[in-house]
C-alpha cells in the first residue's frame, strides 16, 4: 500500500497544477490535527518504550535482553515465526492458486474461511484450537502446553497474509504468457517455475513478511493454548507481560524494544518489496 501510494501520487502530481498537490489551509489544518492525533496515539507511546529501555543505559539493556529465560523466549518466537512463514509461503501460495485458478463447488466457502483467523478474537482463536487439539479433542491428539501448540497458533493467526497478498496478483496475471510458454513446449512445472513464480515472488515475499511480523508479535491465541512454560513454550510477548505484571517496566521496555526493532525491519522490507511490485506491475 505504502509504496504504491507514493509512486502513483507522484505521477498524478506531475499531471496537475502545483497548487492542488500542495497543502491548502484546510488540508494543512487536517494534516496538523491528524499528525497530532497520530503522535499522541502511536509515535509518542512507541518512543516512550525505546526511551524507557535506553534510560538504564546499554549495560542494563544488554543484561535484560540476554537473560537466559528471555533469550529462550526470543529464540522460540523467532524460530516458530520462521517455520510458520515457510509453511505459509507454500500453503498460502497453493491456497491462492486454488482460489484463483480452480473452479469447484464450495470454493467461495474456502474464501470466507481464509478471513476468519483475521477477524476472530485471538483469545477465542486459542480456545477454538484447544477444542480440537486439546486434551478432550475428538482427534485424540493433545498438543496443549507444548511447542507444537505455539506453532499451531502461529499457523492459525498468520493464515490470511500470504493468501491475500498473492491472490490479487495471481488474478491480474496475464494468461497469454503462460499459454505461449505451454505452446512452446514448456511443461506445467516449467511454466510455473519460469513464468508464474517470478511474477508472484514480490507478493509472496510481502505476505511472508507480514505473516512473520504477526507471528513474532502474537500473544492472545497462546494464552490458553501454550501454557506459557518458561524455557518451553513462553514466547516474547508473554515474557514482556510478566515483566509488566512484576512492575519491572524497564525490563519490559527493553524486550519490547527488540520486538519493535523487528517490526520496524519488517515494515521497511514490505515497503521496499511493494515498491518493486509496483515497478513490475
How far apart, in whole angstroms, are the C-alpha atoms of residue 213 and residue 169? 21
Which CB sits closer to other proteins, 45 or 198?
45
What DSSP designation does 279 have?
H
Say whether residue 259 binds other proteins (CB under 8 A): yes
Q: Examine residue 154 and tell whether it contacts other proteins (CB under 8 A).
A: no
86 near other proteins (CB under 8 A): no
**Residue-by-residue DSSP string for 167-215:** HHHHHHS-HHHHHHHHHTT--HHHHIIIIIHHHHHHHHHHHHHHHHHHH
What part of residues 93-122 is at the interface with other proteins (CB under 8 A)?
94-95, 97-98, 100-104, 108, 110-122
Choose among 20, 48, 23, 46: nearest CA to 34. 23
6 binds other proteins (CB under 8 A): yes
Among 69, 172, 187, 198, binds other proteins (CB under 8 A): 172
- CB of residue 10 vs other proteins: minimum separation in angstroms? 8
Identified binder of other proteins from the candidate list 142, 175, 232, 248, rule CB under 8 A: 175
Q: Mind giving me the DSSP string for 143-179?
A: -TTSHHHHHHHHHHHHHHHHHHHHHHHHHHS-HHHHH
132 contributes a contact to other proteins by CB under 8 A:
yes
CB of 62 to other proteins, least distance (A): 19
Indicate whether 241 belongs to the interface with other proteins (CB under 8 A): yes
First to last CA, the chain: 13
User: Which residue from 75, 188, 193, 194 is in contact with other proteins, where contact means CB under 8 A?
Assistant: 188
Q: Which of 82, 223, 230, 276 binds other proteins (CB under 8 A)?
A: 223
Stretch that binds other proteins, among 143-151, 193-201, 213-221, 226-234 (CB under 8 A): 213-221
Site string for other proteins, 35-54 (x = CB under 8 A): x-xx--xxxxxx-xx--x--
Determine if 228 is a binding residue for other proteins (CB under 8 A): no
Q: How far is the CB of 84 from other proteins (least distance, A)?
A: 12
The angle formed by the CA atoms of residues 47, 48 and 51, to the nearest 5 degrees, is 85
Among 260, 264, 256, 265, which Cα is nearest to 53's? 256
Residue 194 beta carbon to other proteins: minimum distance, rounded to whole angstroms = 17
- The residue to which cell 484450537 is assigned: 129
Cβ atoms of residues 135 and 144 within 8 Å: yes
Q: Does 190 bind other proteins (CB under 8 A)?
A: no
Of 15-23, 60-68, 78-86, 197-205: span binding other proteins (CB under 8 A): 15-23
280 contacts: CB under 8 Å, gap ≥ 6: 199, 202
Distance CA 46, CA 259 (A): 11
Which C-beta is closer to other proteins: that of 201 or that of 250?
Answer: 250
| Complex with other proteins: residue 30 or 79, whichever CB lies closer | 30
Per CB under 8 A, 144 contacts other proteins: no
C-alpha grid cell, residue 219: 500473544
Give the DSSP per-residue string, 43-89: IHHHHHHHHHHHHTHHHHHHHHHT-HHHHHHHHHHHHHHHHHHHHHH
218 binds other proteins (CB under 8 A): yes
Amino acid at each position: 500500500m505504502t509504496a504504491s501510494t507514493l509512486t502513483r501520487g507522484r505521477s498524478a502530481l506531475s499531471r496537475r497544477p502545483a497548487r492542488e498537490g500542495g497543502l491548502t489551509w484546510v488540508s494543512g489544518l487536517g494534516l496538523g490535527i491528524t499528525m497530532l492525533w497520530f503522535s499522541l496515539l502511536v509515535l509518542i507511546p512507541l518512543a516512550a518504550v525505546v526511551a524507557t529501555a535506553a534510560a538504564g543505559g546499554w549495560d542494563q539493556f544488554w543484561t535484560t535482553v540476554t537473560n537466559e529465560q528471555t533469550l529462550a523466549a526470543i529464540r522460540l518466537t523467532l524460530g516458530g515465526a520462521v517455520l510458520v512463514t515457510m509453511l505459509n509461503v507454500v500453503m498460502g501460495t497453493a491456497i491462492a492458486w486454488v482460489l484463483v485458478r480452480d473452479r469447484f463447488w464450495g470454493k467461495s466457502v474456502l474464501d470466507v474461511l481464509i478471513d476468519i483467523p483475521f477477524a476472530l478474537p485471538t483469545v477465542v482463536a486459542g480456545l477454538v484450537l484447544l477444542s480440537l487439539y486439546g486434551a478432550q479433542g475428538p482427534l485424540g491428539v493433545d498438543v496443549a502446553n507444548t511447542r507444537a501448540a505455539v506453532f499451531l497458533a502461529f499457523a492459525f493467526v498468520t493464515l490470511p497474509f500470504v493468501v491475500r497478498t498473492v491472490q490479487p496478483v495471481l488474478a491480474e496475471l496475464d494468461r497469454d504468457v503462460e499459454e505461449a510458454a505451454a505452446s512452446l513446449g514448456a511443461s506445467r512445472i516449467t511454466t510455473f517455475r519460469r513464468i508464474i513464480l517470478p511474477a508472484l515472488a514480490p507478493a509472496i515475499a510481502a505476505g511472508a513478511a507480514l505473516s512473520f511480523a504477526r507471528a513474532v508479535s502474537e500473544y492472545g491465541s497462546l494464552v490458553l493454548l501454550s501454557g506459557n512454560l518458561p524455557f518451553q513454550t513462553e514466547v516474547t510477548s508473554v515474557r514482556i507481560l510478566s515483566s509488566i505484571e512484576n512492575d519491572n517496566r524497564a525490563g519490559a521496555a527493553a524486550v519490547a524494544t527488540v520486538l519493535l526493532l523487528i517490526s520496524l525491519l519488517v515494515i521497511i522490507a514490505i515497503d521496499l518489496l511493494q515498491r518493486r511490485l509496483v515497478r513490475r506491475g
